[in-house]
Amino acid sequence: MKIACIGGGPASLFFSILMKQQDPSHDITVYERNRRGDTFGFGVVFSDETLANIAESDSYAIAAIESEFRHWGAMDVYYRGRTISSDGHGFAAISRVRLLEILTCRATELGVCVKFETEADVDALRDDVDLVVAGDGINSGTRSRYASQLRPTISQGSAKYIWTATDAPFDRFTFIFEDLVFEDIRHSEDLVFEDIGHSEDTPHSAVQAHIYPYNDTRSTFIVEMAEATWERAQLGGHDAGLALGESDQHALEWCSRLFARHLGGRPLIGNNSKWISFPRVSCESWVVNNVVLLGDAAHTAHYSVGSGTKMALEDAIALADAMAAASDVATALKNFEAERRPQIESLQRAAATSEDWFAHVDHHRQRPFEQFAFSLFTRSQRVTYDNLRERDAGYLDETLHWFASQQPPSARPSTPGTPPIFYPFALRDVTFGNRIGVSPMAQYSAVDGMPNDWHKVHLGSRAVGGAALVMTEMTCTSPEARITPGCTGIWNTPQAEAWAGITGFVHTFTEAKIGLQIGHAGRKGSTKVPWEGEDVPLDSDNWPLVSASPLRYRGGSQMPAEMSYEQMDAVLDDFVAATHRAADADFDLVEVHAAHGYLLSSFLSPATNRRGDDHGGTLENRARFPLRVIEAVREAWPHAKPLSVRVSATDWVEGGFSRSEAIELSHMAKDCGVDIIDVSTGQVDPDGAPAYGRLYQTPFAEAIRNAVGIPTMAVGAISSIDDVNTVLMAGRADICLIARGHLVDPYWTLNAAIDLGRSEQPWPIQYWPGRTSRRREQVPDALIDRDLR
């Protein structure tokens, strides 16, 4: 087979090595436009898992690479004069120049022709060879040439960073955070570099360094900060006119000064080092006929979860395996992409979450350092509470001890080692026995708004199942506030009395608390129940809709009227009346639904609020009516009981409601007496494109919690005990609301207690025998006999 590889980077070289191992008769040529030994960057880092994959594919190459590896297992986080370490992570790094030289030598030794200082014409090559492998990097000419077929998406990250090196001694992954203090942001741009002791009221931002050693004398030293910080520090423009390979000396000197104490006064070393934003690359396809993209040409993932080199080498392995398994090139390329793409997309999701953490580090730095460090270690959501225990049990136990010390004495479980999930949590005079809640889930089973036996069993069984908080579905404040005819209501006394029967059951037979979510559907109302047609208007008996602006929810939806001031007053009165009824029905918590595109949410989002009056335009105006409702509900609700507000922290649409606005709104809500924010996202506009994935909404809860200083509840693809413990320990939220998990297992929390062997979780006396249902081998026979009597 005749193969041409464009680009002399790790992807092309390693693939050529693997193909020569499969069949020495393959005719393989690698075309590299630069001279041998020319490369930008410094060290490349690998996890132990990646090294195992490489070794299995080519033990000779990995032996040569390993002979020059710098290994370590620990990671340090340094901030404000303190350091926290976690061990057992397993990494190794090598100079990029040496890696390329080792791979080049191995390839040429096997008979690969490597042509340096040679431009490749992909159009000519594809007609002359059986396979073209384009590993031509982030600025791939191949990707540009076939953009119409590959359909790439290229965007820039929201932070600025610069890639440098240092000969200061570092022996492990080290994350250093320095505060950049703006002494008088109104009148000057004078900066002071401080690490501790400044006033929290002084405008300042964090700048971080990602550091790892790659040989005996040098370490990669990446400096990163939010773009707003970079602009405020006036760091742009100094690299104008620099030739390829030249570094921004102003940037190197500035960073050297900022991190001087950690560098021992040594200057940072440049190699084409300039301020850039991370390029996010993805392609709808990696293949055009007999041409395939590998590595950065096809996809990128932020350096904070690994290296592009790791992905490139693993791409090469996957492609070589696909070639070996298929009888023709077309089938091999199809199979390669089908198998490799899910892995890449999973890594890109983790990388995006990690990148986002660092880009918004100012949202995190107000929390205690122990929690700051744990959040950093688990930022990608691939490393978890249980995973850290496996890697470094000592570190996890120390952090758990710290977590326990932060709880009020009355809320500290007596059993040592209690995981975060089973810690009580108090809001005002209400204490939740653990950190699990049942998320509001619409049941569409009411008649004329009346809750019935279905709702009693649905909510009651989950309260029996151990959740500390069970939330009703959105319960409507008037008949016109409903989404569907099957929605529950609390607009009259009989409904309130029916709800009182349900709260009475919960309070009599369980230790759970029960919350009522109240809301108004707005433009999303007057539709069929979902199993008859989701978001489909009723065939008859429709009620009139109102919204912030006269915009349909989607094509075919009923047109709402723009809400008048008189209608706002009437709806506010409905919310207040519903709140009084909720108090009479003995609910423990009330939540105002201001998310998901319903009425209050429609005012908040620029995508749904096009008003030209004092209720449109700025966030202050858009929030005017929702805040009036929240204030009125707080006044009507008993002072001793907590008030929650659910928000969509992003619309997932360009120009829609954003995380920064959600943070600002949460500040306003806190000032109105709100005790906790229930943080969801999306469902505001049909064009929203959520970045679905495990725990995909928790970063928004984390940002609000720590930037605003208010408790949050997290939702969205939280499914395991490990997920919950990680979210809580990292300070991403204070309560985890689980929806789908509770639909299939009403006893989710009791089962968690069994799985963890915890006695803190109270059980209904009627269900005591169930405590030993899955742990007989660990339970004394006498206890089993007693439970079964």
- Taking only the tens place, the pLDDT of each residue in 675-707 is 999 999 999 999 898 888 888 899 999 999 999
Residue 193 has pLDDT above 60, yes or no: no
Distances (CA, A) of 158 to 162, 228, 777: 14, 9, 53
Residue 759 pLDDT: 78
Do residues 603 and 523 lie in contact, with contact meaning Cβ atoms separated by under 8 Å? no
Any idea which residue has 């595109």 for tokens?
597
- Taking only the tens place, the pLDDT of each residue in 598-621 is 999 999 999 999 999 999 999 999
Do residues 655 and 607 lie in contact, with contact meaning Cβ atoms separated by under 8 Å? yes
Residue 787 pLDDT: 33
Do residues 273 and 247 lie in contact, with contact meaning Cβ atoms separated by under 8 Å? yes
Do residues 780 and 764 lie in contact, with contact meaning Cβ atoms separated by under 8 Å? no
The pLDDT-based confidence of 757 (bands split at 50, 70, 90) is confident
pLDDT above 90 covers a percentage of the chain that reads: 78
Give strand pairing partners of 279: 156
Tokens linked to 626: 């929702």
Residue 627 pLDDT: 98
- Taking only the tens place, the pLDDT of each residue in 462-480 is 999 999 999 999 999 999 9
Residue 782 has pLDDT above 60, yes or no: no
Write the DSSP string, 96-161. Answer: HHHHHHHHHHHHHHTT-EEESS----HHHHHHHSSEEEE---TT-HHHHHTHHHH-EEEEE-SEEE
Residue 659, helix vs strand vs coil: helix
Mean pLDDT of the region 200-209? 69
Burial call 283-313: b when 16+ CB within 10 Å, e when fewer: beebbbebbbbbbbbbbbbbbbbbbbbbbbb
Neighbours of 225 (CB within 10 A): 27
Do residues 264 and 167 lie in contact, with contact meaning Cβ atoms separated by under 8 Å? no
Confidence (pTM): 0.90
Distances (CA, A) of 701 to 164, 319, 711, 713: 34, 39, 9, 7
Do residues 335 and 326 lie in contact, with contact meaning Cβ atoms separated by under 8 Å? yes
Task: Please pick, among 395, 423, 598, 696, the residue that the annotation labels catalytic.
Answer: 598
Residue 216, helix vs strand vs coil: coil
Q: Is 598 a catalytic residue?
A: yes
Mean pLDDT of the region 119-135? 95
Residue 204 pLDDT: 60
Give the Cα separation of 1 and 23 in Å (integer): 9
- Taking only the tens place, the pLDDT of each residue in 281-331 is 999 999 999 999 999 999 999 999 877 898 999 999 999 999 999 999 999
Mean pLDDT of the region 217-233? 93
| 238 φ/ψ angles, rounded to the nearest 5 degrees | -80, -15
Residue 239 pLDDT: 85
Residue 189 pLDDT: 42
- Taking only the tens place, the pLDDT of each residue in 702-732 is 999 999 999 999 998 898 999 999 999 999 9
Residue 77 pLDDT: 96
Mean pLDDT of the region 742-749? 94
Torsion sign (Cα): 336, 337, 342, 344: positive
| 21 φ/ψ angles, rounded to the nearest 5 degrees | -65, -40
| Nearest Cα to Cα of residue 230 among 200, 210, 250, 202 | 250
In 273-429, where do the E strands start and end? 279-283, 287-288, 291-293, 425-427
